[in-house]
């Protein structure tokens, strides 16, 4: 049977059942692997007022709120976009969460190998 998406729109693999979560916007029941989770900074104080208060020296805490949405609401809110038929077949690669900083001993290893490779290319 032809598949619309490689992962069938979910990431549960061949696991059988899984728990259900509720969309925070519309309340729809969504399988946990299909739901879209977004972490958004939230401040109880509006932006302009917060800037003024911070200039005066007030400390305003920012909370990070994780929201769960169904696919319908995620598309409506602009979190997801509808992809073309060919684009759907390719898995989305998310950006690495931790920035990769090369360490000194690790960076020396590839440099030496690069030097040997470049030397080999010159010959
Ligand atoms: Zn929803």
> Distance from the CA of 72 to the center of ligand 1, in angstroms?
6
Please write the tens of the pLDDT for every residue from 11-50.
888 889 999 999 999 999 999 999 999 998 888 888 899 9
Using DSSP bridges, classify how beta strands 63-69 and 36-42 pair: parallel, antiparallel or unpaired.
antiparallel
The pTM assigned to this predicted structure is 0.62
Buried b (16+ CB within 10 A) or exposed e, 56-85: eeeeeeeeeeebbbbbebbeeeeebeeeee
> Distance from the CA of 51 to the center of ligand 1, in angstroms?
32
Q: Is the sign of the CA dihedral 29, 23, 16, 11 positive or negative? A: positive
Q: Are 39 and 20 in contact (CB under 8 A)?
A: no
> Distance from the CA of 67 to the center of ligand 1, in angstroms?
11
> Distance from the CA of 81 to the center of ligand 1, in angstroms?
15
The domains located in the chain, with CATH, are: 18-92 (3.30.1740.20)
């Amino acid at each position: 049977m032809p598949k619309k998406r490689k992962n069938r729109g979910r990431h549960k693999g061949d696991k059988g059942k899984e728990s259900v979560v509720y969309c925070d916007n519309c309340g729809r029941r969504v399988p946990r692997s299909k739901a879209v989770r977004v972490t958004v900074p939230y401040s109880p104080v509006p932006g302009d007022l917060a800037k003024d208060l911070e200039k005066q020296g007030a400390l305003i805490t920012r909370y990070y709120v994780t929201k769960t949405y169904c696919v319908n609401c995620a598309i409506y809110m602009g979190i997801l976009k509808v992809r073309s038929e060919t684009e759907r077949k390719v898995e989305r690669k998310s950006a690495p969460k931790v920035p990769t900083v090369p360490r000194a001993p690790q960076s020396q290893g590839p440099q030496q190998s690069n030097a040997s490779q470049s030397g080999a290319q010159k010959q």
